[in-house]
Amino acid sequence: MSGRPRRRGFGYIRRLSSGRYQASYLGPDLVRRPGPQTFLTKGDAEAWLSRRREQIAAGEWVAPAKPAPKASALTFDTYAEQWMRERGIKPRTREGYAYLLRQYLRPFFGDMVLDDISPSTVRTWWAQLPPDKPAVRARSYSLLKAIMNTALADEILDHNPCRIRGAANTPRARDVRPASLNELDAIVAAMPTRHRALVLLCAWCALRAGEVLELRRGDVDVAAGTIRIVRAVSWLKGGPVVGTPKSAAGTRVVSVPPHVVPALQHHLDAMTGEGPGALLFPGRDGVGHLQPSTLHRGWRHAREAAGRPDLRLHDLRHTGATMAARAGATLAELQQRLGHSSVNAALRYQHAAQGRDREIAAALSAMARADRLPTG
């Protein structure tokens, strides 16, 4: 039971809400002396108190040096800066967190001591966030809760003040309607020639745009009909940053549907530079990464031509997942093919589809042919 310290023969032991134990005793100078740290078990706390009692009984006790300022005197600003510095996060995520801290967290919590931030303080802050930005509210709350959870793990706090039920749930902004096969054909035909294979890979292989834009000749095995996803590119402040895929499960080998392979081979032969490091979809200079603004100009024209002005480039990934499900992929196989899962899900699903991924790709091509057969 946490909260109230329990009186013993010598000293006090208190179980914290974190599950650890805090010990203290009255020294010969009648000053209460807490332990230098909390303890994992009650037995550890009792052992520490026993040693102090033995020192006092033997006349060997010496008043401890004046303790350093309590860690709980840390301000939110100072701790958040440390949290960001020590956090192993991707550059794009780091940039997003920095924006949320700058715009929504630091103006309110910046100078507050962590220990002084209570559940009512968090509710007051939450109430003044812009109601017309539900996604920003949810992400800001999630970031605050994550920082406070780390402070709890660091034993700076003994509770997390973020207790607003459902506040971290990001509302679904829109329902995605997958592109039909005819719409997809129209989009591919309307795209610039050098970007048509990009649309095919985003859709039929359900790849992320950042994964496709970092594909290089050495990642493609046309004979095996596979693409190896080991990197992704993101754009920060106008410049490309190459890193690993979005999650651990994002590193994967994806089978290309057989009906897409000829278009991929043509692209490699006619529009890709020599050498394994050549980008499949470079910028106009033929070397650097394709600018998202350049890609999206062609994309906006193509989706209008197909009668789908609502379709985002990222929605092709949703289209690909839907088609794979129609082809008979199980949930585990979809998770592996898309490389989209939590850490636990990655461990569960990562190898599930290796044996069937080629069959799924072949079924996708069969579906494409069947849907295009003339009727009547």
The catalytic site residues sit at 208, 314, 317, 340, 349
Confirm if 118 and 109 have CB atoms less than 8 A apart.
no
CA distance 215 to 247: 17
Give the start-end residues of each E strand in 185-243.
220-221, 226-229, 232-236, 239-243
Given the structure tokens 């968090």, which residue do they identify?
122
Residue with tokens 């033929």: 286
Residue with tokens 């990001």: 170
Pairing of strands 239-243, 6-7: unpaired
Q: How many residues does the chain have?
A: 376
Query: Nearest CA to 161 among 127, 122, 129?
Result: 122
Positions of E strands within the chain: 6-7, 12-15, 21-26, 32-34, 220-221, 226-229, 232-236, 239-243, 252-255
What's phi and psi for 265, nearest 5 deg?
-65, -45
Give the distance, in angstroms, between the CA of residue 56 and the centroid of all CA atoms in the same chain.
53
Other Cβ atoms less than 10 A from the Cβ of 10: the count is 14
Closest residue by Cα to residue 292 from 216, 245, 239: 239
Hey, what amino acid is at 252? R
Residue found under tokens 């490091």? 277
Give the C-alpha separation, 128 to 303, whole Å. Answer: 39
Q: How far apart are CA 62 and CA 109, in angstroms?
A: 40
Residue 182 CA from chain centroid, whole number: 34
* Cβ 145 vs Cβ 100: under 8 Å: no
Question: Bridge-partner residues for 33, per DSSP?
Answer: 25
